A = this chain, B = another copy of it.
Amino acid sequence: MTTNGRDPADCGGGGDEAGDNGAAAFEASLVADGATFDARDAALLRAVAAAGSVSGAAAELGRSRARALSRLETLEAAFGDLVQRRRGGADGGGSRLTADARALLARFDRLTAALSGTAGAAESVFEGRVADREGELAVVDADAGSVRALAVGDPEPAAGDPVQVSVGADAVTLHDPAETPPADATSARNRFTGVATAVERGDAVVRVDVDVGAGGPLRALVTVDSADRLGLAAGSDVVASFKATATRVTAVDAGGRRE
Q: List the interface of chain A (C-beta within 8 A of B).
A: 2, 7-10, 14-15, 17-32, 36-37, 42-43, 45-46, 49-50, 78-80, 97, 100-107, 109-111, 113-119, 121, 123, 125, 134-137, 148, 150, 152-153, 164, 166, 168-171, 173-176, 178-189, 202-205, 220-227, 229-230, 243-246, 248-252, 254-258
Contact of A2 with B25 at beta-carbon distance under 8 Å, contacts A9-B152, A187-B227 already known: no
Q: Which residue of B lies closest to A2 (CB)?
A: B31
Q: Are A8 and B187 in contact (CB under 8 A)?
A: no
A137 to B221, CA, bound (A): 13
A102 to B21, CA, bound (A): 11
Q: Are B26 and A246 in contact (CB under 8 A)?
A: no
The residue that A166 contacts in the complex, of B30, B105, B113, B185, with Cβ under 8 A, is: B113
In the complex, what residues of B have CB within 8 A of residue A107's CB? 14-15, 17, 21
Question: From residue A97, how far is it (CB to closest CB) to chain B in Å?
Answer: 6
Q: Are B184 and A181 in contact (CB under 8 A)?
A: no
Question: From residue A113, how far is it (CB to closest CB) to chain B in Å?
Answer: 4
In the complex, what residues of B have CB within 8 A of residue A103's CB? 15, 17-19, 21
Task: With a 10 A CB-CB cut-off, give which of A21, A25, A49 has the most chain B CB atoms.
Answer: A21
Q: Which residue of B lies closest to A246 (CB)?
A: B170
